Structure 1
Amino acid sequence: MAGIGFELKKIYKKNTVAAHIRGGFYSIFVTIGHVLITLGVLMIVKTVLQDSFNSVHLEQLYSAIVVYSFIFPLIFTSGITIVLSRYIADKLWNRKNEDIASSILGVMTLYIAVFSLPGILLLGSAQDLPLILKIVSYLLYMQMGLIYLLMTYVSALKNYKEIAQSFIIGMGTVIGLVLITRNFLYQNEDIVVYLIFYFALGTLLTLIGLYTAVRKVFRQMNGNYFEFLLYFKKYPKLFFSNVAYTVTMYAHNFLFWSYSATKQQVSVFYFSEAFDLATAFAVYSILPAAVLFVVRTEVFFYDTYRAYLDAINYGTGSEIKKRKQEMERSMWEEFLYSMEVQGLISMICLIIGMLLFKQVGAPSLTLEVFPYLVFGIYLLYFSFLGGTLMQYFENYDDSMRSFLLGLFLNLIFGQLTLMMGREFYGLGVVFSSFLTLSYTMIKLRETLLEIDFVIFTNGALRPSLTRGRLEKFVEALNDGVEKE
């Protein structure tokens, strides 16, 4: 994340308790602050509107629309954001901010043009939903995708205060509207329409705030609106890796949504309430690892990695060997440290989650599968970090294989455990994630053995991109936008 390491080093340089506290809060805000704000809003709305729904059907419809509007845009944008982040990093390095500014318009246009279709087809087939609910649901779905895309640019910004303000204003609007109209919403037949409208309005304000903040930094456009598409040809494995990992996170949910003994349906939306609830809390339990990875990588590991690259380019054989050993030691120390700390946090989250579920009367299935999901997603996330480190070392092949293996195993073991019966539900995540992590660690070790050759020949062995259909298509798109 561009700029974060520099800021963290400045904060931690003082080496005081206050500096470490400040650095911790800064890291949390930059990495997962927007997630925490959104999660907080969802929980507050659910608490405020307790018993406000006059039927289980309406409550399930509201939950299903929100879940679909958050999960599917995340999946649809996952491949785009990872490639786009590489494009932005290269352009920042070459100080071509005009290309970055142009890509903002291009990527938003691409998402609207391509991913409007799934939302239109799904909502269009919902004959039992009123037109106004379809419209606001579509807007929420589309705006969440655009927010995910804009967050890719956020890491390149310096003024994180504006980013926080965007989410606080948008999500605060949702809470404000719910509180103001609480009595009006109580037992209202149209409560779902109003709530989804509130969320659509809130995400629109967040979207406008993020777009404004990004454009303040990247102002001048030069017409290369769709040049970033060439990076899909240059780094296709990055695209498939991130899509595979994101789908893997929810692969078991999709299986439960389709299995006759566990699936539920409201309108055109399939879900599994008990399993979805357990999955959501299990995913939230792993969020601290995202903070740890960014902090430990940016503050400690990256310097040793940079020193190793400098030694490859300018140092002697003995210096290269020394720097490589320092880098490897630093990498494994930070990786294992993150695993240890997150392991403790996951255990605490498991205990709190079990107590909370019992307190609120959660379904028994939620209590049964939650421990398996916490452990399985813990293993899965660290296989993701291992794959990400392979990408640091330009090993895109094994990184992609690791992510695809995780997806394949999750689907296979998930289906098997569903067929084996209720007592095995959730165990598929554990088995598949353990095997994926084992494979990833083996490939990461092999990557380090060959890293001297890979880094030294970086670029020399990579085929140059020839002018083909994609390049012509990108030029046509850019010309089309210019004429408009």
Structure 2
Amino acid sequence: MAGIGFELRKLTQRGDLLGVGEAFAHSALASAGPWIFSAIALTAIALIGSTAVTPDEMATFRLIVAYNFAGSLILAGPISIILTRYLADRIFEKNVKEVPAVLAGALAMLWLGGLLLALPVWFIVLKADSVTRCLAYVNFMLIASIWLVSVFLSALKNYKAITFAFGSGLSIAVIAAAVLAPRFLVPGMLAGLNIGFAFVLFTILARVLAEYPTSATRVLDFLPYTKKYWELAAGAAIYSLAIWIDKVIMWSAPGTQTLPSGLISSPDYESAMFLGYLTVVPSMAAFTVLIETGFFERYVRFYDDIRRHACLAKIRKNQQAISDIFNEGACNFLVLQGSICLTAILLAPQILSLFQSGSSQIAMFRLGTLGALFNAGYIFLTVVLSYFDLRRPILALHVLFLLTNVLFSYVSANAGFAFYGYGYFLSSLVAFGAAFFVTAWHLNRLPYLTFVVKNTSVA
């Protein structure tokens, strides 16, 4: 599944800064395309539509997209992670003929779930006209579908097609919203955004179908994986819920708004946290291009030598190589993301001013940036654990993250405005610390993990 990382790494080896810049730009879209797309599109559409709609209407538009992001991630997460495991196994076996059919089956399952989850929300909770409700529902389904098809982005080697999809889709969304917003208001902005999302989705689908053969018909071939790898599905759902639970808890804090549309939000907190999340995009790009590829090479060497009956000294040497690349990657991540985090903290007033946010959000943005630093590190550590099929430790870590985020966010919400943001920051810090300990412990006992714990012949 690290295929695109190796292609992008070739760009960094051209020997010029342009190649490095291209690699990181393509990697950012491959690893965080939906986030980047939405952040830029929402900002641009808000600027364009601010003269055409009222503040409440603009807030309704933003909240519809935010609700859809949260709900779609929770719904698509379990299906996506199972699909990821299925696709990885098929690529390893060099047998990908069922992939297009399985993608169709996964999308059908996702759309059924969206029908049960999103339809009641937008047609019962949302107080708006039927057109807005329909467009809100379509927006949910498009975002959820993009999460799902994004599983294939890391396996695809055509990074230019990915960049084209998100770049063109973004331009189309902004232009369409600019044309439609003055006349149709909130429905116009939603329609414009949906047109852009639809372009991204169908472009990626076309690329996937072009990459893999399309003669297979076993659309539910991945379903047995849901039972075999139930920990992955449960972990994905719990992690997705954990990422958003602090926003829901903050709805009980002072400063919460209930719009005429019936939607609830804590606007200062939510926008500050969202901006904080965006600071990790460079590190996600670096992880795809540099860190994961180097780790993957040593990981493959370790298990290939075992299959060739290597001696213990060779196995220990390969284990040390994995530990070395892990430590190097951890240091590189902390230096890169730590520098970005420090810069964002120091320039917080200017950054918030750029996004038309108030000075009251500075402290929350800084805590959100720190939380995003540790949360990104936490994600990377769970990726490392996933290479060794440590599903239950990962599930336990996700449960820890969820419970601590609930606890700390509840305490900070009731402690007063000065403490807003500490819940997410502290829970991310605790989860990162626990994940680092678990990862280091398993890497230190890798031969035992391989020959005893993961050996099915050992009772």
Separation of aligned partners in 2, 1:360 and 1:94: 47
Shift of 1:328: 0.5
Query: For the Cα contact (< 8 Å) 2:344–2:351, is it kept in 1?
Result: no
Quickly say closer, same or farther: Cα 1:101–1:359, change in 2 above 3 A: closer
1:195 corresponding residue in structure 2: 189
Which whole-Å CA distance do the structure 1 matches of 2:432 and 2:162 have between them?
A: 34
User: CA offset at residue 178 of structure 1?
Assistant: 3.2
- 1:466 maps to what in 2? none
Whether the aligned pair in 1 keeps the contact of 2:253 and 2:413 (CA below 8 Å) is no
The equivalent of 1:481 in structure 2 is none
Letter in 2 for 1:262: G
Post-superposition CA distance 1:132-180 (Å, at most 9, x none): 1111111111111111111112322233333333333333222222334
Paired residues of 1:103 and 1:224 also in contact (CA < 8 A)? yes
1:32/1:287 contact within 8 Å kept: yes
* Structure 1 unaligned spans of 5+: 464-484
> After the TM superposition, which residues 115-126 of structure 1 pair with which residues of structure 2 at under 5 Å, given as runs?
115-126=114-125
- Secondary structure of 2:258's partner? strand
When residues 386 and 169 of structure 1 are mapped into structure 2, their CA distance, relative to the original with a 3 A threshold, is closer
**Structure 2 counterpart of 1:310, which letter?**
D
Q: Map 1:330-409 to 2 at 5 A.
A: 330-358=325-353, 362-409=357-404
Q: For residue 222 of structure 2, give the secondary structure of its aligned residue in structure 1.
A: helix
Q: Of the candidates 309, 312, 330, which is equivalent to residue 303 of structure 2?
A: 309
The secondary structure found in structure 2 opposite 1:227 is coil
Shift of 1:10: 3.3
Q: Which stretch shows the higher mean deviation, 448-457 or 143-152?
A: 448-457
Change (3 A) 1:11 1:164: closer
Structure 2 partner of 1:469: none
The percentage of counterpart residues that share the same residue type is: 20
Q: Cα 1:317–1:128, aligned 2, differ >3 Å: closer, same or farther?
A: closer
- State how far apart, in whole Å, the 1-side matches of 2:431 and 2:36 are: 28
In structure 1, the residue matched to 2:59 is 60
Q: Where do residues 212-291 of structure 1 align in structure 2 (5 Å cutoff)?
A: 212-257=206-251, 259-266=252-259, 267-291=261-285
The structural deviation recorded for 1:23 is 3.2
Task: Kindly provide the amino acid, as one letter, of the partner of residue 118 in structure 2.
Answer: G
Residues 305-356 of structure 1, C-alpha deviations (whole Å, 9 max, x = no match): 2222223232101111111112111111111211121010112223333223
Q: Deviations over 1:428-466 (max 9, x none)?
A: 222222222222122112212332122235764399xxx
Mapped partners of 2:414, 2:92: distance in 1:
51
Task: Please say if residues 312 and 456 of structure 1, whose CA atoms lie closer than 8 Å, have aligned partners that are also in contact.
Answer: no
Show CA shifts across 1:407-437 (max 9, x none): 1101001101112222221112222222222
Q: Which moved more, 1:113-122 or 1:452-461?
A: 452-461
Contact 2:83-2:222 at 8 Å conserved across structures:
yes
In 1, the alpha carbon distance for the partners of 2:272 and 2:162 equals 30
Residue 37 (structure 1) shift: 3.6
- Corresponding residue of 2:71: 72
CA distance in structure 2 between the partners assigned to 1:229 and 1:120 by the alignment: 25
**How far, CA to CA, are the matches of 1:151 and 1:310 in structure 2?**
29
- Superposed displacement of residue 17, structure 1: 4.3
Residues in 2 aligned to 1:127 and 1:50: alpha-carbon distance in whole angstroms? 21
How do residues 62-211 of structure 1 correspond to structure 2 at under 5 angstroms? 62-126=61-125, 128-181=127-180, 185=182, 190-211=184-205
Cα deviation 1:336-383 (Å, max 9, x = unaligned)? 211121010112223333223246663454223111111122112212
- Counterpart position of 2:27: 27
SS at match of 1:312: helix
Q: CA-to-partner distance for each residue in 1:281-300, whole Å, 9 max, x for gaps?
A: 00101111211222233332
CA shift digits 1:371-399 (9 cap, x unpaired) = 11111221122122222211212222212
Aligned-residue CA RMSD in angstroms?
Answer: 2.4
Is the 1:91–1:97 contact (alpha carbons within 8 Å) kept by the matching residues of 2? yes
**Aligned-pair CA distance for 1:14:** 4.3
Distance (Å, rounded) in 1 between the aligned partners of 2:358 and 2:191 = 29
Q: Distance in 1 between matches of 2:427 and 2:176?
A: 43
| Partners of 2:118 and 2:137 within 8 A in 1 | yes
SS at match of 2:264: strand
| CA gap 1:459/1:429 in 2 versus in 1, 3 angstroms | closer
Under a length normalisation based on structure 1, what TM-score does the superposition of the two structures give? Answer: 0.88
CA distance, structure 2, for counterparts of residue 168 and residue 21 of structure 1: 16
The secondary structure found in structure 2 opposite 1:456 is: helix
**CA distance in structure 2 between the partners assigned to 1:126 and 1:403 by the alignment:** 30
Distance 1:160 1:290, change over 3 A: same
Sort the Cα spacing of 1:432 and 1:302 in 2 relative to 1 into closer, same or farther, 3 A: same
Letter of the 1:372 partner, please give it: L
Instruction: Give the distance between the partners of 1:245 and 1:126, measured in 2 at CA.
Output: 25
- C-alpha displacement of 1:89: 1.0
Change (3 A) 1:324 1:17: same
Counterpart Cα distance in 1 of 2:19 and 2:135: 44
Task: Report the equivalent of 2:313.
Answer: 318
- 1:219-256 Cα distance to aligned partner (Å, 9 max, x none): 32322211212111121222222222222222211111
Deviations 1:3-34 (A, max 9, x none): 22331343344445454344333433433345
Paired with 1:142 and 1:272, the residues of 2 have a C-alpha distance of: 24
Partner of 1:478: none
Contact 2:5 2:154 in 1 (8 A): no
Q: Unmatched 5+ residue regions in structure 2?
A: none
Match of 2:36, as an amino acid? L
Q: Out of 410, 414, 423, which is 2:418 matched to?
A: 423
Mapped partners of 1:438, 1:416: distance in 2: 21
Amino acid at match of 1:402: L
- 1:48 and 2:48 matched: yes
Counterpart for residue 10 of structure 1: 10
2:430 aligned with 1:435, yes or no? yes
Find the residue that maps to 1:129 and give its secondary structure: coil
Larger radius of gyration: 1
Query: Which residue in the other structure is 1:454 paired with?
Result: 449
Contact residue 123 and residue 134 of structure 1 kept, 8 A: yes
Between the aligned partners of 2:22 and 2:166, the Cα distance in structure 1 is: 21
- The 3-state SS of whatever aligns with 2:155 is coil
Aligned length: 457
Mapped partners of 1:17, 1:362: distance in 2: 34
The structure-2 alpha-carbon separation of the partners of 1:436 and 1:126, relative to structure 1 and needing over 3 Å to count, comes to closer
